Structure 1
Amino acid sequence: MTKALIVIDVQESFRARPLWRTTDNQDVAEQAGRLVDHARAAGDLVIWVVHEEPGTGNTFDPVNGFVRVMDELKPAADEPLLVKRVHNAFTGTDLQHRLTVAGVRSVTVCGLRTEQCVETTARVASDLGYDVTFAIDATATNPIPHPDAPAGQTVEELLADPRTLSAADVSARTVYALAGRFATVKTVAEIIGE
Protein backbone atom coordinates (compact mmCIF):
# COMPACT_ATOMS: atom_id res chain seq x y z
CA MET A 1 0.00 0.00 0.00
CA THR A 2 1.60 3.26 -1.07
CA LYS A 3 -1.36 5.67 -0.96
CA ALA A 4 -3.62 7.00 1.77
CA LEU A 5 -6.66 9.26 1.98
CA ILE A 6 -6.78 11.43 5.09
CA VAL A 7 -10.28 12.75 5.85
CA ILE A 8 -9.82 15.69 8.21
CA ASP A 9 -12.49 17.08 10.54
CA VAL A 10 -15.54 16.24 8.41
CA GLN A 11 -17.44 16.23 11.67
CA GLU A 12 -20.77 17.30 13.12
CA SER A 13 -19.06 19.99 15.22
CA PHE A 14 -19.07 22.29 12.20
CA ARG A 15 -22.73 21.75 11.31
CA ALA A 16 -23.72 22.54 14.89
CA ARG A 17 -22.23 26.05 14.64
CA PRO A 18 -24.23 29.07 13.36
CA LEU A 19 -21.36 29.77 10.95
CA TRP A 20 -22.13 26.54 9.06
CA ARG A 21 -24.67 28.33 6.86
CA THR A 22 -21.82 30.41 5.41
CA THR A 23 -19.79 27.34 4.46
CA ASP A 24 -18.71 27.46 0.84
CA ASN A 25 -19.14 23.73 0.20
CA GLN A 26 -22.20 22.27 1.87
CA ASP A 27 -21.51 19.04 -0.07
CA VAL A 28 -18.12 18.44 1.58
CA ALA A 29 -19.26 15.16 3.16
CA GLU A 30 -20.59 13.87 -0.16
CA GLN A 31 -17.36 14.80 -1.94
CA ALA A 32 -15.24 13.24 0.80
CA GLY A 33 -17.43 10.14 0.54
CA ARG A 34 -16.64 9.85 -3.18
CA LEU A 35 -12.93 9.94 -2.34
CA VAL A 36 -13.42 7.34 0.40
CA ASP A 37 -15.23 5.00 -2.01
CA HIS A 38 -12.46 5.45 -4.58
CA ALA A 39 -9.69 4.85 -2.03
CA ARG A 40 -11.38 1.73 -0.69
CA ALA A 41 -11.87 0.34 -4.20
CA ALA A 42 -8.17 0.92 -4.92
CA GLY A 43 -7.12 -0.76 -1.67
CA ASP A 44 -5.67 2.48 -0.31
CA LEU A 45 -5.50 3.27 3.38
CA VAL A 46 -8.30 5.54 4.65
CA ILE A 47 -7.62 7.49 7.84
CA TRP A 48 -10.24 9.59 9.60
CA VAL A 49 -9.35 12.55 11.81
CA VAL A 50 -11.57 14.57 14.15
CA HIS A 51 -10.74 17.67 16.15
CA GLU A 52 -11.62 18.08 19.82
CA GLU A 53 -11.29 20.88 22.37
CA PRO A 54 -12.10 19.36 25.76
CA GLY A 55 -13.36 21.69 28.46
CA THR A 56 -14.31 24.53 26.10
CA GLY A 57 -18.05 23.95 26.15
CA ASN A 58 -18.22 24.62 22.41
CA THR A 59 -19.16 22.23 19.59
CA PHE A 60 -15.64 20.76 19.63
CA ASP A 61 -15.93 19.76 23.30
CA PRO A 62 -16.51 15.98 23.26
CA VAL A 63 -19.06 16.20 26.08
CA ASN A 64 -21.50 17.96 23.72
CA GLY A 65 -21.69 14.99 21.34
CA PHE A 66 -20.68 16.68 18.07
CA VAL A 67 -17.10 15.38 17.84
CA ARG A 68 -17.95 12.58 15.43
CA VAL A 69 -17.67 12.02 11.71
CA MET A 70 -20.62 13.54 9.82
CA ASP A 71 -23.54 11.18 9.98
CA GLU A 72 -23.66 10.33 6.26
CA LEU A 73 -20.07 9.06 6.32
CA LYS A 74 -19.31 5.67 7.81
CA PRO A 75 -15.71 4.80 8.70
CA ALA A 76 -15.07 1.09 8.22
CA ALA A 77 -14.14 -0.94 11.28
CA ASP A 78 -10.54 -1.34 10.07
CA GLU A 79 -10.06 2.37 9.26
CA PRO A 80 -8.31 4.35 12.01
CA LEU A 81 -10.04 7.31 13.64
CA LEU A 82 -7.50 9.74 15.08
CA VAL A 83 -8.30 12.57 17.48
CA LYS A 84 -6.28 15.77 17.28
CA ARG A 85 -6.19 18.98 19.29
CA VAL A 86 -4.07 21.15 16.97
CA HIS A 87 -4.39 22.32 13.38
CA ASN A 88 -2.50 19.50 11.68
CA ALA A 89 -3.28 15.81 11.80
CA PHE A 90 0.32 14.76 12.57
CA THR A 91 1.12 16.55 15.82
CA GLY A 92 -0.14 14.65 18.85
CA THR A 93 -1.34 11.64 16.85
CA ASP A 94 0.30 8.51 15.48
CA LEU A 95 -0.54 9.43 11.87
CA GLN A 96 3.05 9.45 10.65
CA HIS A 97 3.72 6.08 12.30
CA ARG A 98 0.63 4.56 10.67
CA LEU A 99 1.63 5.87 7.25
CA THR A 100 5.20 4.61 7.66
CA VAL A 101 4.14 1.14 8.80
CA ALA A 102 1.74 0.89 5.84
CA GLY A 103 4.44 1.98 3.39
CA VAL A 104 2.49 5.06 2.32
CA ARG A 105 4.39 7.65 0.29
CA SER A 106 1.47 9.52 -1.28
CA VAL A 107 -1.44 11.12 0.57
CA THR A 108 -4.63 12.83 -0.51
CA VAL A 109 -6.14 15.25 2.00
CA CYS A 110 -9.67 16.61 2.23
CA GLY A 111 -11.99 18.04 4.88
CA LEU A 112 -12.65 21.10 7.00
CA ARG A 113 -11.42 23.84 7.07
CA THR A 114 -9.68 24.40 3.76
CA GLU A 115 -7.10 26.92 5.01
CA GLN A 116 -6.68 25.61 8.52
CA CYS A 117 -6.49 21.92 9.34
CA VAL A 118 -6.47 20.60 5.78
CA GLU A 119 -3.89 23.07 4.47
CA THR A 120 -1.72 22.73 7.58
CA THR A 121 -1.79 18.94 7.32
CA ALA A 122 -0.85 19.18 3.63
CA ARG A 123 2.11 21.42 4.43
CA VAL A 124 3.37 19.16 7.23
CA ALA A 125 2.93 16.06 5.04
CA SER A 126 4.95 17.73 2.30
CA ASP A 127 7.69 18.68 4.76
CA LEU A 128 7.78 15.05 5.91
CA GLY A 129 8.41 13.94 2.33
CA TYR A 130 4.99 12.72 1.28
CA ASP A 131 3.63 13.35 -2.22
CA VAL A 132 0.49 15.36 -1.38
CA THR A 133 -2.72 15.78 -3.36
CA PHE A 134 -5.11 18.44 -2.07
CA ALA A 135 -8.72 17.68 -3.03
CA ILE A 136 -9.95 21.27 -3.30
CA ASP A 137 -13.65 20.53 -3.87
CA ALA A 138 -13.67 18.04 -1.00
CA THR A 139 -12.75 20.82 1.42
CA ALA A 140 -14.89 23.55 2.90
CA THR A 141 -14.41 26.77 4.79
CA ASN A 142 -16.16 29.92 5.99
CA PRO A 143 -15.60 33.63 5.63
CA ILE A 144 -12.83 34.90 7.91
CA PRO A 145 -13.20 38.10 9.96
CA HIS A 146 -10.69 40.90 9.58
CA PRO A 147 -8.03 40.78 12.34
CA ASP A 148 -9.38 44.08 13.73
CA ALA A 149 -13.02 42.93 13.76
CA PRO A 150 -14.61 42.87 17.21
CA ALA A 151 -14.61 39.55 19.01
CA GLY A 152 -17.90 37.71 19.16
CA GLN A 153 -19.33 38.99 15.89
CA THR A 154 -22.62 37.47 14.85
CA VAL A 155 -22.78 35.76 11.48
CA GLU A 156 -24.73 38.73 10.17
CA GLU A 157 -22.06 41.18 11.38
CA LEU A 158 -19.33 39.04 9.87
CA LEU A 159 -21.04 38.98 6.50
CA ALA A 160 -21.83 42.71 6.60
CA ASP A 161 -18.24 43.74 7.34
CA PRO A 162 -16.58 44.70 4.02
CA ARG A 163 -13.21 43.67 5.46
CA THR A 164 -14.31 40.04 5.86
CA LEU A 165 -12.39 37.64 3.63
CA SER A 166 -14.92 35.58 1.69
CA ALA A 167 -14.81 31.79 1.73
CA ALA A 168 -14.17 31.83 -2.02
CA ASP A 169 -11.15 34.08 -1.49
CA VAL A 170 -9.90 31.84 1.32
CA SER A 171 -10.06 28.78 -0.94
CA ALA A 172 -8.41 30.62 -3.83
CA ARG A 173 -5.57 31.77 -1.56
CA THR A 174 -5.08 28.19 -0.39
CA VAL A 175 -4.72 26.99 -3.99
CA TYR A 176 -2.15 29.70 -4.69
CA ALA A 177 -0.22 28.88 -1.50
CA LEU A 178 -0.13 25.10 -1.98
CA ALA A 179 0.02 24.45 -5.73
CA GLY A 180 3.46 23.58 -6.97
CA ARG A 181 4.99 24.04 -3.53
CA PHE A 182 3.36 21.76 -1.01
CA ALA A 183 0.76 19.84 -3.01
CA THR A 184 -0.84 19.07 -6.30
CA VAL A 185 -4.30 20.61 -6.21
CA LYS A 186 -7.00 18.55 -7.92
CA THR A 187 -10.76 18.17 -7.99
CA VAL A 188 -12.47 14.99 -6.88
CA ALA A 189 -13.31 14.17 -10.50
CA GLU A 190 -9.66 14.48 -11.47
CA ILE A 191 -8.59 12.27 -8.58
CA ILE A 192 -11.08 9.50 -9.24
CA GLY A 193 -10.66 9.70 -13.01
CA GLU A 194 -14.11 10.82 -14.09
Structure 2
Amino acid sequence: MTQTPRTALLVIDAQESFRQRTDDWAATANPRVLENIALLVERARINGGVVVWVTHSEPGTGGVFDPDNGFVRVVSEFEPRPHELRVTKTTVNAFASTDLQRQLVDHGVERVVICGIRTEQCCETTARVASDLGFAVEFVTDATTTSAITAGEGYGAVSGEDIMRRTESILGAREFARIVTTAERTAVTAVGS
Protein backbone atom coordinates (compact mmCIF):
# COMPACT_ATOMS: atom_id res chain seq x y z
CA MET A 1 0.00 0.00 0.00
CA THR A 2 1.36 3.41 -0.99
CA GLN A 3 1.30 5.98 1.78
CA THR A 4 0.06 9.49 0.98
CA PRO A 5 2.90 12.02 1.26
CA ARG A 6 2.62 14.17 4.37
CA THR A 7 1.64 17.75 3.69
CA ALA A 8 2.47 20.97 5.52
CA LEU A 9 0.48 24.16 5.25
CA LEU A 10 2.85 27.14 5.36
CA VAL A 11 0.99 30.23 6.57
CA ILE A 12 3.42 32.97 5.61
CA ASP A 13 3.46 36.38 7.29
CA ALA A 14 -0.21 36.50 8.28
CA GLN A 15 0.91 38.84 11.00
CA GLU A 16 -0.15 42.07 12.65
CA SER A 17 2.78 43.97 11.10
CA PHE A 18 0.94 44.25 7.79
CA ARG A 19 -2.20 45.68 9.36
CA GLN A 20 -0.10 48.44 10.87
CA ARG A 21 0.52 49.63 7.30
CA THR A 22 -3.08 50.83 7.17
CA ASP A 23 -3.04 52.26 3.62
CA ASP A 24 -1.57 49.06 2.16
CA TRP A 25 -3.91 46.85 4.16
CA ALA A 26 -6.97 48.86 3.13
CA ALA A 27 -5.92 48.52 -0.52
CA THR A 28 -5.17 44.80 -0.40
CA ALA A 29 -5.84 42.98 -3.66
CA ASN A 30 -7.63 40.14 -1.87
CA PRO A 31 -9.85 41.22 1.03
CA ARG A 32 -10.82 37.54 1.63
CA VAL A 33 -7.25 36.42 2.30
CA LEU A 34 -7.67 35.80 6.04
CA GLU A 35 -10.98 34.00 5.50
CA ASN A 36 -9.37 31.70 2.92
CA ILE A 37 -6.33 31.06 5.11
CA ALA A 38 -8.68 30.12 7.96
CA LEU A 39 -10.37 27.54 5.72
CA LEU A 40 -6.99 26.06 4.77
CA VAL A 41 -5.88 25.87 8.40
CA GLU A 42 -9.12 24.16 9.41
CA ARG A 43 -8.79 21.58 6.62
CA ALA A 44 -5.10 20.93 7.40
CA ARG A 45 -5.97 20.30 11.04
CA ILE A 46 -8.82 17.95 10.14
CA ASN A 47 -6.59 16.03 7.73
CA GLY A 48 -3.70 15.68 10.16
CA GLY A 49 -1.37 17.87 8.13
CA VAL A 50 1.43 19.92 9.64
CA VAL A 51 0.58 23.60 10.13
CA VAL A 52 3.51 26.01 10.11
CA TRP A 53 3.13 29.64 11.17
CA VAL A 54 5.83 31.79 9.58
CA THR A 55 6.41 35.37 10.69
CA HIS A 56 8.85 37.97 9.38
CA SER A 57 11.09 39.95 11.69
CA GLU A 58 13.47 42.86 11.15
CA PRO A 59 15.16 43.37 14.55
CA GLY A 60 16.53 46.80 15.32
CA THR A 61 14.75 48.62 12.49
CA GLY A 62 12.19 50.40 14.65
CA GLY A 63 9.44 49.64 12.13
CA VAL A 64 6.39 47.40 12.15
CA PHE A 65 8.56 44.30 11.60
CA ASP A 66 10.81 45.09 14.57
CA PRO A 67 9.81 42.57 17.26
CA ASP A 68 10.34 45.23 19.94
CA ASN A 69 7.22 47.01 18.67
CA GLY A 70 4.97 43.99 19.28
CA PHE A 71 3.51 43.42 15.81
CA VAL A 72 5.55 40.37 14.82
CA ARG A 73 2.79 37.97 15.82
CA VAL A 74 0.13 35.99 14.00
CA VAL A 75 -3.01 38.04 13.32
CA SER A 76 -5.56 37.93 16.10
CA GLU A 77 -8.09 35.97 14.01
CA PHE A 78 -5.89 32.88 14.23
CA GLU A 79 -4.92 30.84 17.25
CA PRO A 80 -1.90 28.65 16.53
CA ARG A 81 -2.03 25.47 18.57
CA PRO A 82 0.85 24.58 20.87
CA HIS A 83 1.94 21.58 18.76
CA GLU A 84 1.97 23.54 15.50
CA LEU A 85 5.31 24.67 14.15
CA ARG A 86 6.44 28.29 14.28
CA VAL A 87 9.39 29.92 12.60
CA THR A 88 10.45 33.54 12.43
CA LYS A 89 12.44 34.52 9.38
CA THR A 90 14.62 37.50 8.63
CA THR A 91 14.85 36.80 4.89
CA VAL A 92 12.23 36.96 2.14
CA ASN A 93 11.88 33.16 1.87
CA ALA A 94 10.98 31.03 4.85
CA PHE A 95 13.96 28.68 4.50
CA ALA A 96 17.21 30.69 4.32
CA SER A 97 17.19 32.14 7.84
CA THR A 98 15.32 29.35 9.67
CA ASP A 99 15.47 25.62 10.31
CA LEU A 100 12.18 25.11 8.44
CA GLN A 101 13.59 22.53 6.02
CA ARG A 102 14.88 20.36 8.86
CA GLN A 103 11.58 20.61 10.73
CA LEU A 104 9.60 19.62 7.64
CA VAL A 105 11.90 16.67 6.94
CA ASP A 106 11.70 15.61 10.61
CA HIS A 107 7.89 15.55 10.26
CA GLY A 108 8.02 13.48 7.08
CA VAL A 109 6.68 16.32 4.92
CA GLU A 110 7.01 15.90 1.17
CA ARG A 111 4.47 18.48 -0.02
CA VAL A 112 3.94 22.09 1.08
CA VAL A 113 0.86 24.23 0.54
CA ILE A 114 1.63 27.94 0.52
CA CYS A 115 -0.63 30.81 1.53
CA GLY A 116 -0.09 34.17 3.20
CA ILE A 117 0.74 37.80 2.73
CA ARG A 118 2.75 39.36 -0.06
CA THR A 119 2.00 37.04 -2.95
CA GLU A 120 5.00 38.06 -5.05
CA GLN A 121 7.53 38.37 -2.25
CA CYS A 122 7.63 35.95 0.66
CA CYS A 123 4.99 33.55 -0.69
CA GLU A 124 6.37 33.23 -4.22
CA THR A 125 10.01 33.13 -3.09
CA THR A 126 9.25 30.44 -0.52
CA ALA A 127 7.47 28.41 -3.20
CA ARG A 128 10.47 28.60 -5.52
CA VAL A 129 12.93 27.61 -2.79
CA ALA A 130 10.67 24.79 -1.58
CA SER A 131 10.56 23.44 -5.12
CA ASP A 132 14.35 23.66 -5.41
CA LEU A 133 14.65 21.75 -2.13
CA GLY A 134 12.58 18.90 -3.57
CA PHE A 135 9.19 19.52 -2.00
CA ALA A 136 6.07 19.23 -4.11
CA VAL A 137 4.47 22.69 -3.93
CA GLU A 138 0.86 23.82 -4.09
CA PHE A 139 0.32 27.58 -4.27
CA VAL A 140 -3.11 28.80 -3.18
CA THR A 141 -3.21 32.19 -4.86
CA ASP A 142 -6.65 33.15 -3.53
CA ALA A 143 -5.28 32.61 -0.02
CA THR A 144 -2.52 35.17 -0.63
CA THR A 145 -2.63 38.90 -1.09
CA THR A 146 -0.53 41.89 -1.95
CA SER A 147 -1.02 45.53 -2.87
CA ALA A 148 -0.06 47.70 -5.83
CA ILE A 149 3.58 48.49 -6.43
CA THR A 150 4.85 51.74 -7.87
CA ALA A 151 8.04 50.85 -9.67
CA GLY A 152 9.39 54.37 -9.84
CA GLU A 153 9.60 57.17 -12.34
CA GLY A 154 9.10 55.98 -15.89
CA TYR A 155 7.94 52.53 -14.87
CA GLY A 156 4.41 53.16 -13.68
CA ALA A 157 2.48 51.07 -11.20
CA VAL A 158 1.35 47.47 -11.17
CA SER A 159 -1.96 46.61 -9.49
CA GLY A 160 -2.11 44.01 -6.75
CA GLU A 161 -4.45 41.92 -8.89
CA ASP A 162 -1.96 41.94 -11.80
CA ILE A 163 0.87 40.98 -9.45
CA MET A 164 -1.14 38.03 -8.18
CA ARG A 165 -1.94 36.87 -11.73
CA ARG A 166 1.71 37.24 -12.74
CA THR A 167 2.91 35.20 -9.76
CA GLU A 168 0.38 32.48 -10.48
CA SER A 169 1.38 32.38 -14.16
CA ILE A 170 5.12 32.23 -13.47
CA LEU A 171 4.93 29.60 -10.74
CA GLY A 172 2.58 27.38 -12.71
CA ALA A 173 4.15 27.77 -16.15
CA ARG A 174 7.67 27.22 -14.83
CA GLU A 175 6.51 24.23 -12.79
CA PHE A 176 7.61 25.61 -9.44
CA ALA A 177 4.15 24.90 -8.09
CA ARG A 178 0.74 23.51 -8.86
CA ILE A 179 -1.75 26.37 -8.64
CA VAL A 180 -4.91 25.56 -6.67
CA THR A 181 -7.81 27.49 -5.19
CA THR A 182 -8.93 27.44 -1.59
CA ALA A 183 -12.06 25.55 -2.66
CA GLU A 184 -9.99 22.89 -4.44
CA ARG A 185 -7.57 22.54 -1.55
CA THR A 186 -10.27 22.29 1.12
CA ALA A 187 -12.13 19.64 -0.88
CA VAL A 188 -9.17 17.27 -0.37
CA THR A 189 -10.03 14.74 2.32
CA ALA A 190 -7.17 12.21 2.39
CA VAL A 191 -5.32 12.02 5.71
CA GLY A 192 -2.20 14.15 5.70
CA SER A 193 -3.12 15.91 2.49
So what's the TM-score if we normalise by structure 2?
0.91
Q: Which amino acid aligns with 1:179?
A: G
Match of 1:154 in 2: none
Once the two structures are superposed, residues 44-99 of structure 1 have per-residue CA deviations (whole angstroms, 9 ceiling, x without a partner) of 00010000111111111111111110100110010111100111000111110011
Q: Which amino acid aligns with 2:79?
A: K
- Tell me how far 1:111 sits from its aligned partner: 0.1
- Tell me how far 1:191 sits from its aligned partner: 0.6
Match of 2:9 in 1: 5
| One of 143, 164, 187 as aligned partner of 1:138 | 143
User: Relative contact order (C-alpha < 8 Å, sep 6+): which is higher?
Assistant: 2
Match of 1:156 in 2: none
- Counterpart mapping for 1:69-148 below 5 A: 69-148=74-153
What secondary structure, in the 3-state scheme, does the structure 1 residue paired with 2:73 have?
Answer: coil
RMSD: 1.4
The structure with the largest strand share of the pair is: 2
Regions of 4+ moved over 3 Å: none
Of stretches 122-131 and 56-65 in structure 1, the one that deviates more from structure 2 is 56-65
Percent identity (aligned): 49
Q: Which amino acid aligns with 1:88?
A: N
Match of 2:191 in 1: none
- Tell me how far 1:27 sits from its aligned partner: 2.2
Once the two structures are superposed, residues 162-188 of structure 1 have per-residue CA deviations (whole angstroms, 9 ceiling, x without a partner) of 911000110010011100410001110
Once the two structures are superposed, residues 21-50 of structure 1 have per-residue CA deviations (whole angstroms, 9 ceiling, x without a partner) of 111112212211110100010000001000
Unpaired segments of 5 or more residues in structure 2? 189-193
Match of 1:167 in 2: 160
What secondary structure, in the 3-state scheme, does the structure 1 residue paired with 2:138 have?
Answer: strand
Distance in 1 (CA, whole Å) between partners of 2:75 and 2:32 is 11
- Tell me how far 1:148 sits from its aligned partner: 3.3
What secondary structure, in the 3-state scheme, does the structure 2 residue paired with 1:88 have?
Answer: coil
1:184 aligns with 2:175: no
Distance in 1 (CA, whole Å) between partners of 2:26 and 2:61 is 22
- Tell me how far 1:189 sits from its aligned partner: 0.1
- Tell me how far 1:108 sits from its aligned partner: 0.2
Distance in 2 (CA, whole Å) between partners of 1:127 and 1:147 is 31
